[in-house]
């Protein structure tokens, strides 16, 4: 028995040896097919990116513009024919819908409301959405995301934008974007502090991003009076028919449209700005009223793309400006809308707001024949660069130099939005570290397109001065920072144009740093720009208070097209294409039609 088992063991050992040898040979002579291909880095595939299959046909049809929010009452007048409909909510038994003539609509108050639930995230990186799928981009994209996830994760991902598809064929234009974000944070303050730390410690231009997790609830009441068109054959109409009156309670949404204009009484403009005012405003298209994220009311104008541009252009540039400058403004306005479509106000129910945060939109009060002609003459034209529509931002006056967009905002570098010398002289300026050069530039400005006679209608836009006492500075700063009495104000970082992008405030108790151009301007009562130098005059026997003098150049953020510069170029004989290619470098003009 032992001998048999011994032989069996020998045979088994021989079989295992031969099997393992053959297996080894097979592995060597028949490797997996992937081994034969060029070696590629592994891609981390466990990120769960949200889908984005949004496709929108060009030209755009209707666009929703939020005229105002945080409202409780409103009055709307339509003299011609109208259609109105409401969505029921609260105590309403059913929806309401009718048509008529000569409408008087009053939103009388809110009956019940609850604000939206908002979560706060810090966006660490934005990428074109296509980069996570394209063979030539996805390895780099996944490596970048993987690094952020390792150091600051786990990350959350959000995607916005759409693919714009020309109705008459041609290549699609992808304006989708991917947000890679940390969070959510407990509140807005905690999120902003995290963003500041990312910028200070890691040079990551993080920014706050609001995500609406639950829509608001808002039910409101309205009263309407109108002529019922069911009685249109009644001869009494010609002599003035009696108005029909209806009260609507517990409305959730209301929409009214008219063939003619719609008047909104006492509309608010410039909230938070020095030019804040109230006036009657006229609109076309449709008006929608619903709850905003605060649980109050928002008024939205639904308007066609072309009509939107014909209102925006004269709201952004004087209608009597040189025609080629107005044409440049029309192309810039069109491109900016398309570049940002479905990427702005992603936590709300509209596409754009009516303030300069998006583009100034004041209703058809501003429409002019000359600006209508500029929109029509440039119809379909947009700025294009490196496979994307240029976000053709603009500002009132650059002071002689524009700035890189990624220095002003938390945005990736864009070769079309870089510092441009607006001087009519062939001179190269870089004031990121040259304080003496910047001082000379501001105090002794070289000739620039935005200072051409007839281009700048307000000298205070090109060069300006603001002076504050130490106590005035303290009053402004303490609204945001508890640092004690101000001791020193120092620009700690500048962009290539010299614009302040980080400002150090030293107080009696502590020192803080304010980041980004707009917060710096707002801190001191909305300075014209962040392109400034600061002179400190110590207090003396006659004047016990230290004084701070800001001497600056330009008006606005300083990125993209300088509107006064565009006027200056047009005055000196340049056409709108030359103007656009000057301010949006490495770009070209395309016609999506």
Question: Per-residue pLDDT tens for 299-346?
Answer: 999 999 999 999 999 999 999 999 999 999 999 999 999 999 999 999
3-state secondary structure of 317: coil
Q: What is the dihedral of CA 578, 584, 587, 593, to 10 degrees?
A: -80
Task: Quickly state the pLDDT bin for 32 (edges 50, 70, 90).
Answer: very low
- Mean pLDDT over all residues of the chain? 88
Cross-sheet strand order for the sheet of 500-507: 486-494, 500-507, 511-515
Judged against a pLDDT cut of 70, whether residue 90 lies above it is answered with: no
pLDDT given for residue 509 in this prediction: 94
- Across 292-365, the runs of DSSP E, i.e. the strands, are 297-304, 352-353
Task: Quickly state the pLDDT bin for 460 (edges 50, 70, 90).
Answer: confident
pLDDT given for residue 16 in this prediction: 38
Neighbours of 370 (CB within 10 A): 14
Task: Quickly state the pLDDT bin for 289 (edges 50, 70, 90).
Answer: very high
pLDDT given for residue 429 in this prediction: 86
The residue with greater pLDDT, 428 or 394, is 394
As a whole number of angstroms, the distance between CA 78 and CA 97 comes to: 16
Give mean pLDDT, residues 526-535. Answer: 97
pLDDT digits (tens, 9 = 90+) for 36-52: 333 344 445 578 999 99
Total residue count of the chain as it appears in this document: 593
Half-sphere exposure of 365 (CA within 13 A, CB side): 13
pLDDT given for residue 63 in this prediction: 94
pLDDT given for residue 240 in this prediction: 57
Give mean pLDDT, residues 555-563. Answer: 97
Judged against a pLDDT cut of 80, whether residue 378 lies above it is answered with: yes
Judged against a pLDDT cut of 60, whether residue 19 lies above it is answered with: no
Give mean pLDDT, residues 382-394. Answer: 93
The residue with greater pLDDT, 388 or 559, is 559
As a whole number of angstroms, the distance between CA 562 and CA 131 comes to: 32
pLDDT given for residue 356 in this prediction: 83
As a whole number of angstroms, the distance between CA 312 and CA 337 comes to: 11
Q: At what angle do helices 323-340 and 369-377 cross, to 10 degrees?
A: 60
Q: What is the DSSP string of 346-387?
A: TTSSSSEESSTTT-----GGG--HHHHHHHHHTTTEEEEETT
pLDDT given for residue 88 in this prediction: 81
Q: What percent of the chain has pLDDT over 90?
A: 75
Q: Which of 81-95, 293-307, 413-427, 518-532 has the lowest mean pLDDT?
A: 81-95
Q: Which of 38-47, 116-125, 554-563 has the lowest mean pLDDT?
A: 38-47
Q: Which of 87-91, 156-160, 268-272, 442-446 has the lowest mean pLDDT?
A: 87-91
pLDDT digits (tens, 9 = 90+) for 461-499: 999 999 999 999 999 999 999 999 999 999 999 999 999
Judged against a pLDDT cut of 70, whether residue 31 lies above it is answered with: no
As a whole number of angstroms, the distance between CA 568 and CA 454 comes to: 7
Residue 232, Cβ density class (10 Å: 0-12 exposed, 13-18 middle, ≥19 buried)? exposed
Give the rounded distance of the alpha carbon of 497 from its chain centre.
Answer: 22
Q: Which of 16-25, 92-101, 338-347, 528-537 has the lowest mean pLDDT?
A: 16-25
pLDDT given for residue 263 in this prediction: 96
Task: Quickly state the pLDDT bin for 21 (edges 50, 70, 90).
Answer: very low
Give mean pLDDT, residues 561-565. Answer: 97
The residue with greater pLDDT, 555 or 59, is 555
Q: What percent of the chain has pLDDT over 70?
A: 89
Which residue do the tokens 């529509």 mark? Answer: 389
pLDDT given for residue 232 in this prediction: 52
Task: Quickly state the pLDDT bin for 411 (edges 50, 70, 90).
Answer: confident
The residue with greater pLDDT, 427 or 340, is 340
As a whole number of angstroms, the distance between CA 188 and CA 64 comes to: 27
Q: Which of 363-372, 423-432, 491-500 has the lowest mean pLDDT?
A: 423-432
pLDDT given for residue 45 in this prediction: 57
Q: Which of 171-185, 220-234, 283-297, 504-518 has the lowest mean pLDDT?
A: 220-234
pLDDT given for residue 243 in this prediction: 80
pLDDT given for residue 500 in this prediction: 97
Task: Quickly state the pLDDT bin for 241 (edges 50, 70, 90).
Answer: low
pLDDT given for residue 396 in this prediction: 96
pLDDT digits (tens, 9 = 90+) for 348-358: 999 999 988 88
pLDDT given for residue 234 in this prediction: 47
Task: Quickly state the pLDDT bin for 387 (edges 50, 70, 90).
Answer: confident
Give mean pLDDT, residues 435-444. Answer: 96
The residue with greater pLDDT, 276 or 507, is 507
Residue 519, Cβ density class (10 Å: 0-12 exposed, 13-18 middle, ≥19 buried)? middle
The residue with greater pLDDT, 24 or 288, is 288
Domain ranges of the chain: 57-115+216-377, 117-214, 386-584
């Amino acid at each position: 028995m032992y001998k048999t088992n011994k032989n069996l063991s020998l045979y088994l050992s021989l079989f295992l040896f031969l099997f393992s040898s053959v297996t080894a040979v097979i592995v060597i002579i028949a490797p997996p097919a992937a081994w034969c291909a060029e070696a590629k880095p592994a891609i981390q595939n466990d990120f769960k990116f949200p889908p984005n299959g949004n496709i929108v046909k060009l030209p755009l049809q209707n666009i929703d513009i939020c005229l105002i929010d945080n409202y409780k009452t409103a009055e709307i007048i339509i003299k011609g024919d109208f259609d109105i409909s409401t969505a029921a909510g609260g105590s309403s038994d059913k929806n309401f819908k009718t048509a008529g003539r000569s409408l008087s609509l009053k939103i009388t108050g809110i009956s019940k409301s609850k604000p939206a639930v908002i979560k706060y995230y810090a966006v660490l990186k934005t990428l074109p959405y296509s980069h996570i799928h394209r063979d030539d981009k996805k390895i780099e994209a996944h490596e970048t995301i993987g690094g952020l996830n390792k150091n600051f994760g786990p990350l959350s991902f959000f995607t916005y934008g759409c693919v714009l598809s020309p109705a008459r064929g041609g290549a699609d234009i992808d304006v989708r974007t991917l947000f890679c974000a940390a969070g959510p944070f407990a509140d807005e303050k905690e999120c902003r502090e995290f963003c500041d730390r990312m910028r200070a410690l890691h040079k990551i231009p993080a920014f706050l991003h609001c995500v609406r997790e639950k829509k608001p609830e808002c039910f409101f009441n309205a009263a309407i009076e109108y002529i019922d068109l069911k009685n249109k054959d009644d001869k009494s109409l010609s002599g003035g028919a009696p108005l029909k009156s209806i009260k609507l309670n517990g409305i959730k949404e209301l929409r009214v449209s008219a063939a003619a204009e719609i008047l909104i009484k006492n509309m608010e403009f410039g909230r938070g700005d020095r030019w804040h005012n109230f006036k009657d405003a006229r609109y076309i298209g449709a008006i929608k009223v619903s709850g905003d994220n605060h649980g109050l009311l928002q008024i939205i104008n639904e308007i066609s793309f072309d009509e939107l541009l014909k209102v925006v252009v004269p709201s952004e540039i004087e209608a009597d400006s040189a025609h080629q400058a107005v044409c440049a403004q029309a192309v810039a306005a069109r491109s900016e809308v398309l570049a940002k479509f479905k990427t702005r106000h992603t936590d709300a129910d509209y596409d754009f707001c009516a303030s300069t945060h998006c583009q100034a939109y004041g209703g058809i009060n501003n429409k002019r024949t000359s600006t209508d002609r500029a929109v029509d003459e440039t119809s379909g034209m947009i700025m294009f660069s490196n496979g994307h529509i240029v976000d053709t931002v603009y500002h009132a006056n650059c002071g002689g130099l524009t700035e890189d967009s990624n220095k002003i905002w938390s945005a990736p570098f864009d070769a079309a939005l870089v510092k441009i010398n607006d001087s009519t002289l062939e001179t190269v300026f870089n004031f990121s570290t040259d304080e003496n050069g910047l001082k000379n530039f501001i105090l002794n400005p070289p000739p620039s397109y935005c200072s051409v006679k007839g281009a700048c209608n307000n000298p205070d836009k090109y060069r300006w001065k603001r002076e504050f006492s130490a106590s005035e500075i303290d009053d402004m700063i303490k609204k945001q920072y508890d640092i004690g009495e101000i001791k020193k104000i120092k620009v700690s970082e500048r962009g290539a144009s010299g614009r302040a992008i980080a400002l150090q405030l030293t107080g009696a108790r502590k020192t803080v740093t304010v980041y980004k151009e707009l917060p710096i301007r707002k801190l001191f009562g909305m300075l014209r720009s962040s392109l400034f130098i600061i002179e400190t005059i110590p207090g003396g026997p006659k004047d016990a208070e230290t004084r701070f003098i800001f001497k600056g150049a330009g008006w606005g953020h300083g990125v993209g097209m300088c509107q006064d510069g565009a006027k200056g170029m047009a005055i000196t004989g340049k056409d709108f294409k030359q103007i656009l290619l000057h301010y949006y470098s490495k770009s070209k003009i395309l016609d999506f039609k």
